[in-house]
Amino acid sequence: MTDKELRNMGLHRIENPSHDNAMIPLTPWPDFPLRFTVEYPVADFPLEVGFWAEKMGLQFLVLDAVYAVCTDKQNSFTFSFQASREACDLSGIKIQWFTDKLDEAIAHLNAKQIRFEIHQHSPIQRFARLRSPAGVTVEIWSGDEGNKGE
């Protein structure tokens, strides 16, 4: 299949969304709670570990001197990073979390002295944006805040 054929199929799918294709058979490992991860390289590996552990409060499924897999207490997500000899432009990578307790998340960011910006996405939704030391964009989105205080 050529790129042109695949692109045309993608355009058709965009115009006619459906979920009728057979998915690649992926079965989770029975002995380890890892389903998938998106990995990025970091030049200062200890700094990135410190940020995710101490500032953001994440846990690690895997952590050694050159590789880390981050998760939360519920193991509801994973992402990973590895030591690299050179810094890379990671500004195109974005980790997004969604919460109905954005004000509590903001209080946590303030308590941990993490620099962030608040953005008003719509009249009923905001998000906090920050960057990891390696340059990965992190956004924490509110839910519908239209009925806040009612």
CATH of the domain at 39: 3.10.180.10
Domain of residue 70: give its range: 32-142
Residue 85 lies in a domain: yes
Residue 6 lies in a domain: no
Q: Is 102 helix (H, G, I), strand (E, B) or coil?
A: helix
Mean pLDDT by 10 residues, the chain (150 residues): 92 86 83 87 97 96 96 91 93 94 96 96 93 97 74
What is the C-alpha separation between 115 and 136, in angstroms, rounded? 14
Answer yes or no: are the C-beta atoms of 80 and 69 closer than 8 Å: yes
What is the C-alpha separation between 81 and 98, in angstroms, rounded? 22
Residue 102 lies in a domain: yes
Residue 60 lies in a domain: yes
Strand 79-83 with 39-42, pairing = parallel
**pTM for this predicted structure:** 0.84
Residue 19 lies in a domain: no
**How many distinct structural domains can be found in the chain?**
1
* Terminal C-alpha separation, the chain: 55
Predicted confidence at residue 149, as pLDDT, reads 54
Residue 21 lies in a domain: no
Predicted confidence at residue 7, as pLDDT, reads 94
